[in-house]
């Protein structure tokens, strides 16, 4: 009988067993020394909880809204590339899991299913993650297709002027992006014996000259809300508010870009303070437990996004696995809320956590 994992870590183990090493390493790995990769997870462990007792927790309400869309819990699906390397149904299966869990999926720009395929396969609320290509017409065309297909917002990822150095991919000669949204643009030149084709692809296509002023260009071609993903400082959060984005995602790209960038949970509060409540602050990086979700909310996040855990679920058991992972995190969050005396998300406050700094 197939093993039934009881937590995200066991799903990761199962994914490792079923995936070819090249793909597992692609999903699990981070940049260079993988310092930030470990820190994203470890930093959560250094935050402890301050539970309150004798509160009526006979009913727990995890529901919330993001950009006005109702979701059943503050756990969303982060944009991650190339789900077909994890499972033949790819992003369509992930989107179905999002719909079943009544949450929002952010589809990656580097998707192996088209925006149309994902849209027609389920009724989950979908956002589309964007990169700005040197050829802006290509990005603009995808924006239009996403609008036509009912995507509700764009998440512009701003931490990839160039691809981070992911040494496992270089070692494994990671190949074959299979990026279905841009068929015709993917050239065979990318088949290289020099290293990772993902790196060659990103570095040849992405516009490394993109600046704050260019957000106006994106705003000029769409009426949909734009979130910026990859903000790690109060300074940049302020600028994001100034240029008029609808939200911020605190993220270090799952530690796949700049190694020795801070763990995301350690900078969340700085970003939240800088925004002064003007835009919602979402969070990702290292969320593996319901307690992690609780901690991020206590430090000011409106919701969290999970990346690798969903891919591990997808790799292990397809749509059902992705669903189980989200459900697991939801169950854990619900229990954490009950045991901390927080019947609703609004009851989770800064006083419910102690950071390492505060203990010293």
Enumerate binding residues for ligand FNR (CB under 6 A).
26-27, 40, 78-81, 108-110, 129, 157, 229, 251, 253-254, 256, 284-287, 306-308
The backbone region for 54, taken as left when phi is positive above 0, alpha when psi lies in -120 to 50, beta otherwise, is left
DSSP H helical segments within the chain, as ranges? 8-18, 21-28, 35-45, 90-100, 115-121, 136-148, 167-172, 197-205, 215-221, 234-242, 264-275, 290-298, 308-340, 356-359
Query: Is residue 168 part of an annotated ligand binding site?
Result: no
**Any catalytic annotation for residue 253?**
yes
Query: Are 255 and 31 within 8 A, CB to CB?
Result: yes
Rounded to a whole number of angstroms, the minimum distance from the CB of residue 147 to ligand FNR is: 19
Query: Is residue 313 part of an annotated ligand binding site?
Result: no
Rounded to a whole number of angstroms, the minimum distance from the CB of residue 285 to ligand FNR is: 4
Query: Is residue 354 part of an annotated ligand binding site?
Result: no
Q: Which residue has the tokens 């000029």?
A: 220
Query: Are 255 and 36 within 8 A, CB to CB?
Result: yes
129 or 197: CB nearest ligand FNR: 129
> What one-character-per-residue DSSP string does 308-331 give?
HHHHHHHHHHHHHHHHHHHHHHHH
Rounded to a whole number of angstroms, the minimum distance from the CB of residue 353 to ligand FNR is: 19
40 or 64: CB nearest ligand FNR: 40
Query: Is residue 327 part of an annotated ligand binding site?
Result: no
128 or 345: CB nearest ligand FNR: 128
Catalytic-role residue among 83, 253, 273, 352: 253
Q: Which residue has the tokens 């990656």?
A: 108
Q: What is the DSSP letter of 182?
A: G
Query: Is residue 171 part of an annotated ligand binding site?
Result: no
40 or 275: CB nearest ligand FNR: 40
Question: CA-to-CA distance for 115 and 123, rounded, in angstroms?
Answer: 13
Q: What is the DSSP letter of 214?
A: G
Q: Which residue is nearest to ligand FNR (CB)?
A: 307
Active site (catalytic) residues: 253
Binding residues: 79-81, 108, 129, 131, 157, 166, 229, 251, 253, 256, 284-288, 307-308
Binding residues for FMN: 79-81, 108, 129, 157, 229, 251, 284-288, 307-308
């Amino acid at each position: 009988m197939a093993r039934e994992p009881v937590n995200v870590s066991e799903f990761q183990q199962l994914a490792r067993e079923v995936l070819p090493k090249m793909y597992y390493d692609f999903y699990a790995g981070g940049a260079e020394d993988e310092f930030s990769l470990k820190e994203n997870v470890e930093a959560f462990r250094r935050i402890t909880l301050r539970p309150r007792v004798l509160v009526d927790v006979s009913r727990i309400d995890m529901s919330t809204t993001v950009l006005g869309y109702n979701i059943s819990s503050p756990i969303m699906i982060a944009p991650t590339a190339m789900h077909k390397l994890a499972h033949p149904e790819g992003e369509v299966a992930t989107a179905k899991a999002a719909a079943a869990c009544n949450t929002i999926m952010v589809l990656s720009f580097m998707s192996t299913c088209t925006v149309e395929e994902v849209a027609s396969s389920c009724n989950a609320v979908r956002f589309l993650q964007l990169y700005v290509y040197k050829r802006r017409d290509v990005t603009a065309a995808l924006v239009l297709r996403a609008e036509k297909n009912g995507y509700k917002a764009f998440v512009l990822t701003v931490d990839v002027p160039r691809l981070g150095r992911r040494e496992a991919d270089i070692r494994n000669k990671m190949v074959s992006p299979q990026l279905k949204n841009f068929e015709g643009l993917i050239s065979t030149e990318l088949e290289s014996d020099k290293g990772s084709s993902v790196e060659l692809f990103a570095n040849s296509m992405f516009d490394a000259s993109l600046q704050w002023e260019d957000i106006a260009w994106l705003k000029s071609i769409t009426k949909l809300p734009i979130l910026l993903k990859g903000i790690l400082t109060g300074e940049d959060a302020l600028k994001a508010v100034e240029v008029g984005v609808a939200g911020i995602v605190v993220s270090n790209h799952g530690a796949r870009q700049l190694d020795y960038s801070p763990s995301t949970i350690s900078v969340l509060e700085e970003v939240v303070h800088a925004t002064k409540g003007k835009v919602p602050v979402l969070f990702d990086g290292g969320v593996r437990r319901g307690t992690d979700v609780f901690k991020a909310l206590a430090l000011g996040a409106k919701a969290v996004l999970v990346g690798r855990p969903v891919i591990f679920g997808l790799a292990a058991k397809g749509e059902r696995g992705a669903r189980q992972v989200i459900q697991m995190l939801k169950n854990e969050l619900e229990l954490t809320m009950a045991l901390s005396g927080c019947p609703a998300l609004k009851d989770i406050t800064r006083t419910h956590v102690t950071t390492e700094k505060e203990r010293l």
